[in-house]
Structures are given as C-alpha cells and as structure tokens.
Amino acid sequence: MQFIFKDFFISRTGFQKVPSRTVTARKIERFFLGQRSRHKRSTDRDNSYHDVVLVFDASNSIRKRDFHKGVKALQGLIDRARNEDHFAAITYSDKATVAFDFTNLEAAKHNLNTKVFFVGKRTNTQEAFDICRTKLFQNKNSNLRPGAKKRVLLLTDGSSNMNIHLTLYRAFQLKLLGVEMFVIGVGNYMPGIQELVGIASSTNRHLFRVRDALSLLEIVRLIPDWKYVHQYQLPWVTARYGYSYDDVNN
C-alpha cells in the first residue's frame, strides 16, 4: 500500500510540467475539438455531436484581466468547434451560476461577451459541478439534446477552497452521467494539481496545462477553424515545428 501511494503521488506531481504550446494545441485539437476526423476518408463521417458546459473559475486567485483573456480564448475554441456542437456556461467563485443554457455557436459566443462575469471571491468548485449536473445535464429546460455526447470544460488556475471534500465527488457524479470531464489548468506551478488530475476523465486526453492566460490565447490561435480545416496544414506537421501529427500521446 505504501508503494502504491508513493507511485500515485509521483504520477500526480509529474503533471506540474507545462508542455509547449504546439503540443497542447494539437492535444486540444484532437481530443477536445475532435478534428482528428479530417484524416478519415470522406465516407467515414462522424455523426456525433456534443453538448458542452464551459465552467469558468472566477475566484480571487485570478486577475480580472486574465479571467477575460480566458473567456476570449474559449470563444476562440467555439469558433473552431463543429456547427453541430452546442455550448452552455457556468461561472463560479464562492457561489456558482448558470450564465446561459445550451445554445448554438453564434449565440454562445455572444453570451460569453454579455453573460459571463468576474466575481473575485473564494473558490467553490464543487457547487459549480453540482449545478452543472442538476441545472444543465438533468434539467429538461436547459436545451440539452437527446443523443448528444455530454462534456464539461473547466478553466481554472488551481484547487477549490470551499467544501473541498465534495469536489471530486461532484466530478464523479458527472462522470456517472456519462459526462467527459476536460480541464485546462493555468499556471506554471499549481499547488492544486492533484485535484485537477482527479477531476479530469483522463490525464493524457482530458488534462491540458498552460503557463498563463496569454499562452492559452496563443494556443487557441494555432488551431484552425473547423470549417477551414481541410484547407490547412497544421503548424505541428510543418518543418518549422518538426512535429508529426501522430506524435500526440494516446
């Protein structure tokens, strides 16, 4: 048991390392946006669609200007999503609030500008997950579509500091509903990385690390829009970066 705990601790602390921007961009492009299908034959159409909840940490550990950079970065991800995908949003600090229900890409981008606000108090992540489950994924009036694959994307700079004992439990409740849990952790060193590792559905496909909010913006800009994806040669398959597309860890 002692050796198991030691290995578990080492594996978690290993996620403090922040990958390069191109590595993170291609991971988001492949695993969150699902643009890997650009390499399939045209007859192999992926008919899946996603209902995604964007969960914004608006607590006092984040500077207001960095919060708004994060919002702008996730607007950029929406620009690069497939037309079939819908988005909702939650903001949380000491309390969590549904900013808007599931809606199409254009309405979601507009709502991020007009309905997502910085708060600047403590960090109640578990309440955000609880509201995500009860008011969005289990609420018939949230515009959740039958057959949609359910996802959460959490943008945060660290761990919760309110009702901490419930955070991973609330994430587990969402996973029991079939929700994929994605996490973007912002910061060079994150004391709360253990919690984020526990929240994410996996560490290789669902946990993304970025140095700061500006880096996240730059990462998103490396990813082409979905509608133009067949016209692009991705930056990580060019000689400039020296990466192969298939180098992404499975």
The answer, yes or no, to whether residue 55 has pLDDT greater than 50, is yes
The pLDDT, as a whole number, for residue 241 is: 41
Q: Give the HSE-up count for residue 240: Cα atoms under 13 Å, Cβ half-sphere.
A: 6
Give 10-35 pLDDT, tens digit per residue: 355 567 889 999 999 999 999 999 86
- Position 244 confidence tier, pLDDT thresholds 50, 70, 90: very low
Q: Where are the alpha helices (DSSP H) in the chain?
A: 2-13, 21-27, 64-79, 105-114, 125-131, 164-176, 193-199, 213-221
3-state secondary structure of 2: helix
3-state secondary structure of 1: coil
3-state secondary structure of 190: coil
Name the residue with tokens 């050796």: 3
The answer, yes or no, to whether residue 113 has pLDDT greater than 50, is yes
Q: Which CATH class is domain 19-33+50-243?
A: alpha beta
The pLDDT, as a whole number, for residue 248 is: 46
Give 195-220 pLDDT, tens digit per residue: 999 999 999 999 999 999 999 999 99
Measured CA to CA, the distance from residue 95 to residue 105 in angstroms comes to: 26
Using only the alpha carbons of the chain, give its radius of gyration. 18
- Position 229 confidence tier, pLDDT thresholds 50, 70, 90: low
3-state secondary structure of 13: helix
The pLDDT, as a whole number, for residue 226 is: 65
Measured CA to CA, the distance from residue 172 to residue 181 in angstroms comes to: 9
- Position 80 confidence tier, pLDDT thresholds 50, 70, 90: very high
The pLDDT, as a whole number, for residue 34 is: 84
The amino acid present at 160, given as its one-letter code, is: S
**Domain residue ranges in the chain:** 19-33+50-243
The predicted model scores a pTM of 0.85
